[in-house]
Amino acid sequence: MSIADLAPHRFPAAWRWVIERVWRLEHAFERAKAAGKAEDDTRLRILFVLAVFGLLFLFAGVGATFAALFSDAGKGGAGAGLAVNARADLVDRNGQLLAMDLVHYAVYVDPNEVWDRSETRKGLLGVLPQLPGKRLDKALAGKQRRFIFGGLTPDQKRMIHDLGLPGVSFEPEVGRSYPLGNTGSHLIGFARPDGSGMAGAEAGLEPALVAGAKDGKPVALSIDLRVQGALEDELAAAAAEFRPRGAVGIVTDIHTGEILGMASWPDFDPNRPGAASPDQTLNRAAASVFEMGSTFKAFTVAIGLDTGVATPSSMFDARTPFQMGYRTIHDYHGTNRILSLVEVFNHSSNIGTAKLAESIGPERLAGYFKRFGLTRPANIELRESARPLTPKVWGADDIASVSFGHGIDVSPLTLAQAMGAILNGGNMIPLTIRKQKEGYCPKGVPVISEKTSMTMLQMMRANVVGGTGRKADAVGYNVGGKTGTGEKYDPAIRAYSGYKQIASFAAVFPTDGPVTAKRYFVLILLDEPQGGIRTGGIVAAPAVGRLVERIAPFLGVPRRTPTIPMIGMTPVSPEDGL
């Protein structure tokens, strides 16, 4: 059998060509040997070796070119030189950068190489005044190379390098940078130096951020920076005017559950979380719970309508205080007359709301509150989402208080999620800080009927046109809403304080159009505002009106003819209700 007979039959022509060339070369060696020409034999063998190496280099070059042009490895930067603690960029829903990995530097000192300890100490502290002197002294007096400070910017590194200090060296480290500073700080959160998320989206979206770094793709949050900026601006203006202990602002898309803006005041710089106080880093929107006051009347009225216990024209006698259980219930500014349900809502009557709750009954009221999500933390990616404080037993005394927002403490996010179910057609939809795909429409869990939801939109619009929420109106945007003023329990006097209050306004716009129309929820809340009149209609409602004016164009909501509210009510001043 010849060598050619060993060739694979799949490539006979190519194989025969190779075998033929090898056979001829080998016979050339034999002829050179037989002729006694050693120099010819040597030349042929050198030529053969060069040819083999040339082919190897050719194959290697072709392979490298193929890998560079056609291989998926490294596409989009995926996996290319990733640090152990690498995280994906965070961007807003329009792709604007919110957080990114940035190379920083750590500075080390090796005392064995330091020439002048005094000069080294002076030089380092001159560039890094925040460097603890004791730590530096300990490193200079030691015997081994030690880390002394991290998170240096390239400029700081250059300044130290230019000092020419022997024994001072640097090592690169990946740090998290927040280019917008305080903007969106509580929603974005911050990460530890080791790269793990500590708060906000940095902690709640940890798996997505790690995976995004490997894929080379940013993680898009649901917020719109334009909405976020306007929200923070109006919240800061209200805080400057009323000097509260703290404040919260939220804007959501009620059909998708997306958080378009979320602010907690005071805020902080996530680039320097250690410099902020616990009060500044506290996310009041998610981690704090409050007695929300009369905003809860929206839930009680919606439940009354949905159960058929009442209609908008049902009448309630609010002429005298109402005794329920051990409680005697009064109105903030008594109307001393019989009110329709619409007027109960617009006058924010505690008496009328408590009588409605009595008709609903403890069992049904508690069941609806649970379906509204008011007895559990808001369903959102934020780890800070706090659990509400709810009655242990839903008796007559409890439903009297809970019906108008006392005796139950919830976070602003929990309130926003539950309000969405009232306003979007009746479905409970979880909140999210992730941007959803265009056309995203979660089914949700039904809580109330679509008819009840549409009626509540009309009642909330009526409250802004002629009720306690008139200062929240933004011409042409058909704003609806409900005021809330909850008294805070004061441990010092072991009773509810008549001065320490939670003032809020829960709004929706636009209230007109079909149930599927674009619709947004807005909440402004001030904790312990100062001044003369501190009701939600005076403190929070004006900020809502100004905010809607600013953000409606960003959200694609055009001005339209103002809708005519439900009839059967008398005008009421914003000062006259809770």
Q: Annotated active-site positions, please? A: 294
- Give which of 418, 303, 320 is closest to 362, Cα–Cα: 303
- Give which of 500, 497, 501, 466 is closest to 480, Cα–Cα: 466
Long-range contacts of 116-120 (CB under 8 A, 24+ apart): 119/165, 120/165, 120/167, 120/168
Asked if 577 and 535 count as a contact pair (C-beta separation under 8 A), the reply is: yes
Asked if 285 and 231 count as a contact pair (C-beta separation under 8 A), the reply is: no
Question: Please, which residues have CB within 8 angstroms of residue 394's CB and are 6 or more apart in sequence?
Answer: 362, 363, 365, 366, 402
Q: Other C-beta atoms within 10 Å of 309: how many?
A: 17
Chain-centroid distance of CA 95 in Å reads 15
State both tokens at 523. 């909440």
176 forms bridges with which residues in the sheet?
Answer: 101
Helices 154-162/117-127 angle, 10° precision: 150
Long-range contacts of 398-402 (CB under 8 A, 24+ apart): 398/362, 399/357, 399/358, 399/360, 399/361, 399/362, 399/365, 399/366, 400/324, 400/325, 400/327, 400/329, 400/354, 400/357, 400/358, 401/327, 402/296, 402/357, 402/365, 402/369
Calculate the alpha carbon distances from 148 to 115, 140, 167, 272, 453 in Å.
18, 10, 12, 18, 61
Tokens 């908008």 label which residue?
A: 312
- Give which of 180, 186, 216, 175 is closest to 98, Cα–Cα: 180
Task: Tell me the three state secondary structure of residue 509.
Answer: strand
φ, ψ (nearest 5 deg) of residue 575: -75, -15
- Where do the DSSP E strands lie in 216-317? 219-220, 246-253, 259-265, 315-317
- Give which of 471, 447, 505 is closest to 297, Cα–Cα: 505
Q: How far apart are CA 564 and CA 478, in angstroms?
A: 9
